[in-house]
């Protein structure tokens, strides 16, 4: 016996908890699972953070190590110890579209984007632990549990986005932004066996970003 569209929707609603699963009717009506909601929310937070950092990044460089790093990256030379070769190489790629007078803009853009993606992995790390705490005994969280988990991730990620120390380093050509991104990326990969960002589905990232066992450091 085949169910029509209306009966199918009613059957799906019966699997939901009527006491908790209608807190957010929009999410419930879309029948989105936790993984999809988590991915969408994470990318939205990433876009917010990246937009803020790009709109507030420095036009040139601060009067400290930023000028040295920008000059070293542009000419592929060696800055002060420990040298930061990976930062210099990636920074030179971001400087390539800019003329020499605006080369520092490229490395500042790199820091802004790296910081934005740091917030993305921070959000997914928070929701990873929140799910284990809130819904550790169920395979799929209810709508109330999903709302609590996503809210925890949003609050934690945005709080770090607008923190003074991180925002300060996110808008200038320093090594801290890229270092934070790599730290959160490797931490996310270690959390759940490569499930935070499945690289098999992202061939471009798989080619650029090394695995934790590749011995980058």
Comparing CA positions, the residue from 185, 173, 165, 172 lying closest to residue 123 is 185
Residues 179, 196, 52, 150: is their CA dihedral positive or negative?
negative
pLDDT in tens, 1-52: 444 544 544 444 444 444 444 445 444 444 578 889 999 999 999 999 999 9
Decide: 15 and 28 in contact? Cβ < 8 Å.
no
* DSSP-derived secondary structure letter, 201: G
- 56, two tokens: 């507030």
Decide: 179 and 59 in contact? Cβ < 8 Å.
no
pLDDT in tens, 88-133: 888 889 988 888 888 888 899 999 999 999 999 999 999 999 998 8
pLDDT in tens, 172-215: 888 889 999 999 988 888 876 645 555 555 555 555 555 544 43
The domain spans of the chain are 37-59+114-214
The rounded distance, in Å, linking the Cα atoms of 65 and 157 is: 27
Where do the H-state alpha helices sit in 100-172?
Answer: 103-134, 143-161, 164-170
């Amino acid at each position: 016996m085949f169910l029509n569209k209306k009966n199918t929707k009613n059957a799906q609603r019966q699997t939901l908890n009527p006491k908790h699963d209608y807190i957010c009717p929009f999410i419930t009506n879309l029948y989105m699972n936790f993984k999809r909601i988590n991915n969408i929310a994470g990318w939205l937070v990433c876009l917010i953070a990246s937009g803020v950092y790009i709109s507030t990044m420095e036009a040139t460089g601060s009067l400290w190590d930023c000028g040295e790093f920008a000059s070293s990256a542009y000419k592929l030379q060696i800055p002060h110890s420990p040298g930061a070769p990976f930062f210099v190489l990636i920074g030179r790629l971001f400087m390539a579209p800019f003329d020499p007078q605006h080369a520092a803009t490229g490395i500042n853009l790199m820091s802004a984007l790296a910081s934005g993606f740091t917030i993305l992995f921070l959000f997914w790390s928070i929701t990873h632990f929140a799910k284990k705490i809130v819904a550790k005994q169920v395979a799929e969280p209810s709508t109330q549990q999903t709302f609590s988990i996503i809210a925890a991730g949003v609050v934690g990620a945005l709080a770090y986005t607008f923190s003074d120390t991180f925002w300060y380093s996110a808008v200038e050509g320093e090594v801290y932004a890229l270092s934070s991104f790599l730290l959160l990326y490797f931490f996310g990969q270690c959390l759940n066996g490569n499930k935070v960002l499945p690289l098999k589905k992202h061939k471009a990232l798989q080619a650029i970003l090394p695995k934790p066992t590749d011995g980058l450091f």
